[in-house]
Amino acid sequence: MSAMTEINYLWPLAGGLLIGLSAGLYLLLNGRIAGISGLAAAAAGLTHDGVSKLGLGFLGGIIAGAWLAAALIRQPDITITSSPGLLIAAGLIVGYGTRLGSGCTSGHGVCGLARLSPRSVAATVTFMAVAGVTVFVTRHLLGVLS
Amino acid sequence: MSSRIAASIICGLIFGTGLVISDMINPARVLAFLDVAGNWDPSLAFVMGGALVPSAVAYIVRRSRSAPLLDSRFYVPANAQIDWKLVTGAALFGLGWGLVGFCPGPAIAALSTGRWEAVLFVAAMLVGMSAYRFSLGRHVPNYRFS
């Protein structure tokens, strides 16, 4: 663990660069925003344009890329303490909210901030603040959920 | 397979690799980042910072191009209006994100591990997206692209 602590910022930085590279390539190759909530909805046929092959390709790529990276580069230590009920509730809220708000961490955060979109700046400030408050309330005020 | 689908798959592979390398695939890491009042883990700020650099470069390169390499035009939203849907949706997303530490990209990447928590969250997320699609999102959106 000590070696990992020392390079605590290199892994996140390298991973972030790859995420940004992916978003940048997707813009310059396909001309589109690499927003995962939008791509997921499109892949599931939940937009108005049928089932998106671009969405399916991107999502399949994410799953395959994560599997390959875990096998070849770095095995992630995934810790999830949430109950099934909380996972369902959070999933429902994230699904509905990202569609209502037209994006998530990738579309508004990585792509929207990079192009200085006022909507994305507003969305990112909002979801970061609400997420921070949610963690504060659940961990420090209630102390029961997570 | 069209070149655009191939580009989507490649971008997805890079994206998924980035999520694993940065450890953003781990909800405990995300919650520790959001827990500013607790034992704060700043590493996800490096993910975001690292991602913004190549993404911003791509959006700057884009200004001098009339079309992406593999399509006839760009599909980047031109809407600048900050409305109640954007803010409410972002707030709901922040709430769900803060409850369990999953946002859409990492949750989909975590499907590669076969963890039931990720499967449950993504399934609920798709139900939430369907709920939007067949309620407030039932009309074809009037997107403006630039």
Cβ within 8 Å, pair B77-A33? yes
**Domain enclosing residue B20, as ranges:** 3-135
Q: What is the pLDDT of residue B51?
A: 98
Among the partner-chain residues A59, A90, A105, the one whose CB lies closest to the CB of B100 is A90
* Inside any domain, residue B121: yes
Q: Residue B92: inside a domain, yes or no?
A: yes
B142 found inside a domain? no
Contact B55, A24 (CB under 8 A): yes
Rounded to two decimals, the ipTM of the complex is: 0.96
CB contact under 8 A, A92 and B7: no
Q: Does B145 touch chain A (CB under 8 A)?
A: no
Contact B108 A59 (CB under 8 A): yes
Say whether A110 and B123 touch across the interface (CB within 8 A).
no
Nearest residue to A8 via CA among B45, B75, B27? B45
Inter-chain contacts counted by CB atoms under 8 A, chains A and B: 494
Amino acid code (one letter) for A56: L
pLDDT of residue B71: 97
Give the residue among B49, B13, B8, B45 at the shortest CA–CA distance from A70. Answer: B13
**What phi, psi does B77 have (nearest 5°)?**
-60, 135
Q: Report the interhelical angle of B116-133 vs A36-43 (nearest 10°).
A: 80
User: Does residue B141 lie within any of the structural domains?
Assistant: no
- Across the interface, of B46, B115, B124, the residue whose CB is closest to A92 is B124
Q: Indicate whether B72 belongs to any domain.
A: yes
Segment B5-59, tens digit of pLDDT: 999 999 999 999 999 999 999 999 999 999 999 999 999 999 999 999 999 999 9
pTM for the full predicted model: 0.95
Confidence of residue B140 (pLDDT cuts 50, 70, 90): confident
| In-domain check, residue B143 | no
d(CA A112, CA B138): 25
Is B66 inside a domain boundary?
yes
Structural domain contains residue B146: no
Q: Do B125 and A94 touch (CB under 8 A)?
A: yes
Which residues in chain B have their CB less than 8 angstroms from residue A108's CB?
A: 90
Query: B54-89 pLDDT, tens per residue?
Result: 999 999 999 999 999 999 999 999 988 999 999 999
In this complex, the residue of A31, A63, A94 whose CB is nearest that of residue B16 is A63
pLDDT of residue B144 exceeding 90, the answer is no
Is B52 within 8 Å of A105 when comparing Cβ atoms?
Answer: no
Would you give the end-to-end CA distance of chain A in angstroms?
A: 24
| Cβ <8 Å between B8 and A47 | no
Percent of chain B with pLDDT over 70: 99
Which of B3, B19, B57 is the best residue to mutate to test the A interface, defined by the most A CB atoms within 10 Å of its own CB? B19
**Number of domains making up chain B:** 1
Dist CA A55 CA A39 (whole Å): 5
- Averaged pLDDT, groups of 10, chain A, 146 residues long: 62 97 98 98 95 98 98 95 97 98 97 97 98 95 67
Residues 6 or more apart whose CB falls under 8 angstroms from that of B107 comprise A91, A94, B118, B121, B122, B125
